[in-house]
Amino acid sequence: MVSLAVQTRKPERYEEILGAAAECFCQQGFAATSIDAVARYLGSTKGRIYHYFPSKMDLFNAVRDRGMELSFESIRPGYEAEASAVDRLALMAHGQCYAMMEHIAYMQVLLDGLRQRRYGATTEFQRKAMQRHLEQRDDFEARYIEVLKAAVAEGALRIGEMRLVSRSFLAAVNAPVFWFVPREDDDPEKLGRFADEITQFAMQGLGVDWTSERMQAMHKLKEGAYV
Amino acid sequence: MVSLAVQTRKPERYEEILGAAAECFCQQGFAATSIDAVARYLGSTKGRIYHYFPSKMDLFNAVRDRGMELSFESIRPGYEAEASAVDRLALMAHGQCYAMMEHIAYMQVLLDGLRQRRYGATTEFQRKAMQRHLEQRDDFEARYIEVLKAAVAEGALRIGEMRLVSRSFLAAVNAPVFWFVPREDDDPEKLGRFADEITQFAMQGLGVDWTSERMQAMHKLKEGAYV
DNA sequence: GCAAACATACTACCGGGTATGCTGTCAAAT
DNA sequence: ATTTGACAGCATACCCGGTAGTATGTTTGC
């Protein structure tokens, strides 16, 4: 955990470090990324980073937590929408898939964070942070499972083992984290089409006949949700 | 690349090291795993490992290559089966999904290997090894795309952007690498049921109406392919 | 003038790699 | 059959570069 005092004193400087760390961590992973490398990326030196973050692990945790926040934000419109469970699910998938590409660096760090589960003890404080993060992951998956169950209750789809299906679903939605590379000509429309295609695959995977009409209805719902 | 002479002189000792390395690398990743840690896992010291592998990177490459071999093996029955493209595809997915759980350690290492793409230069020889590996990955995906196109040609399914669909498909099939943890009571039937469920999700994602009859037909085909 | 916001200099340690030492085995020489 | 030496198969000891973390300047804004 980072001292909130330091974090809010100069928010933009803090954010700059966080972004640079995300960029570095996502390329080489936590272990292979040195604090000096992050500092070089910033055109600075270690001193600056250690002024905001007490340790490398804390820096990583901050990046990871930010990634989690972005993830939750991405599914919120769908999760909170007042619509059928199937439409909510699709909107969640679409939002998360889009965020996967928009915030690719943070999402790749989030992926790397999975490994640290067995990273041994470190401090008691660190262990708490890890446990908190694991709970967040569970909460995240629980939201999908909640809406999935609602969809089943609505008779919109039939599912075998819930855990297996939800994880297959999430894997498909998360997939861009592996292959997406940002380009100059990335525009929201293009990313949107990517997300559309993947959402369709995921929804069909559930056994839903995801027609283009339903896709359009989902997009309408999305516009409405943001108002 | 590892000298074949050393590898074949004492195959079982070589394999033991390879397995231990897979086990260690898959938990902490390449960078965070020390050669000493692998040696400790073996109840030995560095000397033994460096007697078989010239460097840490070579050890990792050997594990990764083995993982690739296992992957190719896992989809071969489906890829080479004489059946409809859709059935072949399902059999490929099922085989790979099963291998994902059976050889979880090697597969997690394979996942970690993705990151090393931008790992900088190292030696010219290492760069060759990396390029060879990337070509293998492309070949692997190409096999799926080939059968996918055949399925489209057969009129069995309709697909939007091929790359997006193939990667969503693969992501769903690969998903167990993230959540599967081996247990004492793991039996082939259990893993088979997991693979069944995931295969169904993936096939449905393609828009195929994957009935239990087709699933059974696929299993029949699998038995036949092994004879 | 004083503290925040850094940069610089330094320490301690870990881990990859190497050089060297030790032991059992096996095959050829006697 | 015994000797011997040569090499595989490791273990031990050591070197050294890189890195996390710290301690101490230095500058800039208020």
Q: What is the pLDDT of residues A106-138, one digit of tens each?
A: 999 999 988 876 655 567 777 888 899 999 999
pLDDT tens for chain B, 227 residues: list them.
Answer: 455 556 656 788 999 999 999 999 999 999 999 999 999 999 999 999 999 999 999 999 999 999 999 999 999 999 999 999 999 999 999 999 999 999 999 999 999 988 876 655 567 777 888 889 999 999 999 999 999 999 999 999 988 999 999 999 999 999 999 999 999 999 999 999 999 999 999 999 999 999 999 999 999 999 886 55
* Residue in the block written with tokens 């400790």: B40
pLDDT band at A19 (very low <50, low <70, confident <90, very high): very high
Mean pLDDT of A57-77: 97
pLDDT at position B122 is 64
- Residue B103: φ, ψ to 5°: -115, 45
Residue B196 DSSP symbol: H
| 8 A C-beta contact, residue B169 and residue B203 | no
| 8 A C-beta contact, residue B106 and residue B120 | no
ipTM, 2 dp = 0.92
Tokens representing residue A155 in the block? 């008779």
Domain at A58-226, CATH homologous superfamily: Tetracycline Repressor, domain 2 (1.10.357.10)
Closest chain A C-alpha to B11 CA, distance in angstroms: 31
Q: Which nucleotide is nearest to B9 (CA to C1')?
A: D8
pLDDT at position A149 is 97
* A197 contact residues in B (CB cutoff 8 A): 160-161, 164-165, 168
**Nucleotides on chain D within 7 angstroms of protein Cβ:** 8-13, 18-25
Test B119 with A178 for CB contact under 8 angstroms: no
Mean pLDDT of A29-47: 97
Type of residue numbered A48: R
**pLDDT, chain A, mean:** 92
**Nucleotides on chain C within 7 angstroms of protein Cβ:** 4-9, 14-21
Instruction: Measure the N-to-C terminal CA separation of chain B; round to a whole number of Å.
Output: 34
Burial of B64 (0-12, 13-18, 19+ CB in 10 A): buried
Would you say how long chain A is, in residues? 227
| Size of the A and B interface in Cβ pairs below 8 Å | 93
Test B118 with A27 for CB contact under 8 angstroms: yes
Task: Tell me the CATH number of domain B64-226, given options 3.40.50.9100, 1.10.357.10, 3.10.129.10, 3.50.50.60.
Answer: 1.10.357.10
Distance CA A15, CA B130 (A): 35
pLDDT at position A1 is 46
Helices (H) and strands (E) in chain A, counts: 12, 0
Radius of gyration of chain B (CA): 19
Q: Where exactly are the structural domains of chain B?
A: 64-226
Q: Which nucleotide is nearest to A33 (CA to C1')?
A: D19
